């Protein structure tokens, strides 16, 4: 399915380059970059180049492209990849703040930094 963007979505703007980001990996279907408020060093986001708020609204080709990118980011962390969380929130009650599907890659290098 063709890429779909929403004009006032901050992640769609990041994909288009209208908002700057620290880009990591980009493919035909996905874009990944560092989180602006990292929970630990290397906290990254993987987003589809298709505006959908929630995971179940995303076409499969976009969904399928995202996880290999998360895996590449984890592998690039090297030793830091021993402990990490992959997180994806859907809806306000589930702590989604940005209404464009995104997968968090959150390294957990020690007890203090990271998710929990
Ligand atoms: P959520 O709570 O929706 O799962 O997570 C949204 C994430 O997007 C947060 O971790 C937040 O720091 C990140 N974020 C929000 N706005 C921006 C931005 O403009 N640039 C970047 N790089 N990250 C953002
Ligand atoms: Zn969007």
Question: Quick check: is 2 in a domain?
Answer: no
- Percent of the chain with pLDDT strictly greater than 90: 89
Using the mean position of ligand 1's atoms as its centre, give its distance from the Cα of residue 1 in Å.
25
- State residue 92's pLDDT score: 98
* Pocket, ligand 1, Cβ cutoff 6 A: 10, 19, 21, 33-37, 89, 95-98
Question: Quick check: is 75 in a domain?
Answer: yes
ipTM score of complex:
0.99
pLDDT digits (tens, 9 = 90+) for 79-112: 768 999 999 999 999 999 999 999 999 999 999 9
Query: For residue 55, with 0-12 CB atoms within 10 Å meaning exposed, 13-18 middle and 19 or more buried, which class applies?
Result: middle
DSSP 3-state assignment of 64? helix
Range of the domain at 48: 10-107
102 given a catalytic annotation? yes
Give the global pTM.
0.97
The domain tally of the chain equals: 1
CATH of the domain at 81: 3.30.428.10
Question: Quick check: is 113 in a domain?
Answer: no
Q: Which ligand is nearest to the CA of 88?
A: 1
Provide the mean pLDDT of the chain.
Answer: 96
């Amino acid at each position: 399915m063709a890429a779909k963007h929403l004009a006032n979505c901050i992640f769609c703007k990041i994909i288009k380059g209208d908002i700057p980001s620290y880009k990591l990996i980009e493919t035909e279907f996905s874009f990944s970059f560092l989180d602006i408020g990292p929970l630990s060093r290397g906290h990254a986001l993987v987003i589809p180049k298709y505006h959908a708020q929630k995971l179940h609204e995303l076409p499969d080709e976009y969904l399928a492209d995202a996880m290999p990118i998360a895996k590449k980011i984890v592998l690039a962390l090297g030793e830091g990849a021993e402990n990490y969380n992959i997180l994806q929130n859907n809806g306000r009650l589930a702590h989604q703040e940005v209404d464009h599907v995104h997968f968090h890659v959150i390294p957990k290098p020690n007890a203090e930094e990271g998710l929990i």
